[in-house]
Chains A and B, each alone.
Chain A
């Protein structure tokens, strides 16, 4: 069990550029979650998947944000036309299929800085 992994760990981009982050969940975890965490604050829910289906999206997820999990394994989060307000840590988490599915296991995050 290698844990949740996220790539890249850090990303610096210029305003207006597109960025894409990847999350690899724990093997056989069918649920995958994305959160955003700004400095000194608690994470805020963005969206989550059960297998390849996106079940819920937060109002925080504007039209510039899109998330996919095409084969029910890894997921990508894309931000188009980045803005300085998008600067944050983007966290991914996964949870198992059956008992214990309420417990989410977090990755190390991708820290985004938009200049």
Chain B
């Protein structure tokens, strides 16, 4: 079974600064996907960024980038130039690739509440 751990229950950052959210996972699979989802207060969850484990290059999406360390099973999210709208709960999630034992279902971490202060 896969597990995802987010060890930071809460983080805060000043507007325009950079913050990094941590995530570690455990799996015996070799091919999988990792995701960061954002859940703003009272709003629905949206995808922030996605990483395919077979790709060595770290994914980036505008101000969001990841540091994917496959051997260490670590997948951190860096948010640059933080904005007030980034305030949300952030979830790290795992899914095996097609053919894997858990393909189709996301396994989520416990979440990190990020607050961006003006």
| Segment among B13-21, B44-52, B65-73 that sits at the interface with chain A | B44-52
Of A43, A50, A107, the residue contacting B106 (CB under 8 A) is: A43
Complex: chain B residue closest to A42, CB-CB: B108
Given contacts A33-B104, A33-B105, A42-B91, contact A106 B110 (CB under 8 A): no
CA distance A55 to B44 in the complex (A): 25
Given contacts A91-B45, A102-B95, A107-B44, contact A42 B110 (CB under 8 A): yes
A102:B33 contact, CB within 8 angstroms: yes
Query: Interface of chain B, helix or strand or loop or mixed?
Result: strand
Number of B interface residues in the complex (CB < 8 A) = 22
B43:A104 contact, CB within 8 angstroms: no
A106:B45 contact, CB within 8 angstroms: yes
CA distance A91 to B46 in the complex (A): 12
B108:A43 contact, CB within 8 angstroms: yes
For residue B111, which residues in chain A have a CB less than 8 angstroms away from its CB?
40-42
From residue 10 to 55 of chain B, which have CB atoms closer than 8 A to chain A?
Answer: 33, 35, 37, 43-47, 50
What are 16 A-B interface contacts by the 8 Å CB criterion? A40-B111, A42-B4, A42-B109, A42-B110, A43-B45, A43-B108, A45-B106, A45-B107, A48-B104, A56-B105, A102-B33, A103-B50, A104-B47, A106-B37, A106-B45, A109-B44
Residues of A in contact with B (beta carbons under 8 Å apart):
4, 31, 33, 35, 40-45, 48, 50, 55-56, 58, 91, 102-109
Residues of B in contact with A (beta carbons under 8 Å apart):
4, 33, 35, 37, 43-47, 50, 91, 93, 95, 97, 104-111
